[in-house]
Amino acid sequence: MTRLRLLDSLNRAVPGWAKRMAPASVKKGVRTALGGDEPPSVAPEPHFLEREHLPRTDYETVWQARYATSEGERRQYLEAHRERYFELLNTLAWYLRDREPGTRVLEVGVSEYVALYKHYFPGIRLFTLDRPLEHHGVDPDWCRQAARAEAHYALDLNAQFPSPDWGEPPLGRFDFVIFTEVIEHLVVNPVELLESLLALLAPQGLLYLTTPNFFRFESLEKFSRRENPQAVYPRRGQNWDAHHHFREYCLSELQQFVAEAGGRILTHYYSACWDGPAIRAADPSLRSNIVLVIASAAGA
């Protein structure tokens, strides 16, 4: 299919939402990403959280020392999420610049990168929450030892939501709740889930949420071919690690869900953490990930 035909078919394939979701700027971005137009001479102005608050050279040095010798699926995961975790740590560096000592941080949905929090921010009080070990969750002992978490909580979010008085000892409230690349894996109502996460925030607390952008370039390209971008559920036994995306979201509905849950989005941007140079240079709404920093409407 030629690039021109791709753009024409995009208009035909999604006429009901084309004017709302694919305005001229997005169409231009599609052309640029496909190589049909010259890339802009000046890249889009970066969001303030995309500016360097944590030295990237130091992050790359630490990454090489800790993860470069990894192999197999572990190496694939670490490589794939390398940029995303720099963004997360870079964001924490911005928000923690005036209040690190004693700051309570909770990561919901734990990965190996959680070990970097105390490396960069030794003054924080770190807590972790993940699926129970029998449901392929993270090892609580590893969280306490390698990540230096004060406490680890095991909870299946598909069955129960956390609250400040849940757990032993009770979870309490946090200055930062980190909830990245999790919501798309759950079969729960997003408003109810967000209500529970916002309830975990201290009065000036923040929720850092990231999730794939459903209307990223890859999806729009598939729409143009009348293909469904959503993957079908894996065969029996092949979703043991809950990697399947049950539901991906777009920015406008996340904004609505946050408001319904009693939250307030302080800032947001489209992240190119999964993307190549062409997408980075195109319209930001074509990027693959969404980043939200959220406060309770009654708090911060």
∠ CA 209-150-80, rounded to 5°: 40
Per-residue confidence at 178, pLDDT binned at 50, 70, 90?
very high
Which pTM value belongs to this model?
0.87
Pair 242, 185: CB distance under 8 Å: yes
190-235 pLDDT, tens digit per residue, is 999 999 999 999 999 999 999 999 999 999 999 999 999 999 999 9
- Number of domains within the chain: 1
Pair 198, 207: CB distance under 8 Å: yes
Pair 266, 293: CB distance under 8 Å: yes
50-94 pLDDT, tens digit per residue, is 999 999 999 999 999 999 999 999 999 999 999 999 999 999 999
Helices (H), the chain: 3-13, 15-21, 24-33, 56-67, 72-80, 82-95, 115-120, 140-145, 190-198, 217-224, 251-260, 277-281
Q: What is the CATH number of the domain that holds 133?
A: 3.40.50.150
Domain that holds residue 187: 3-296
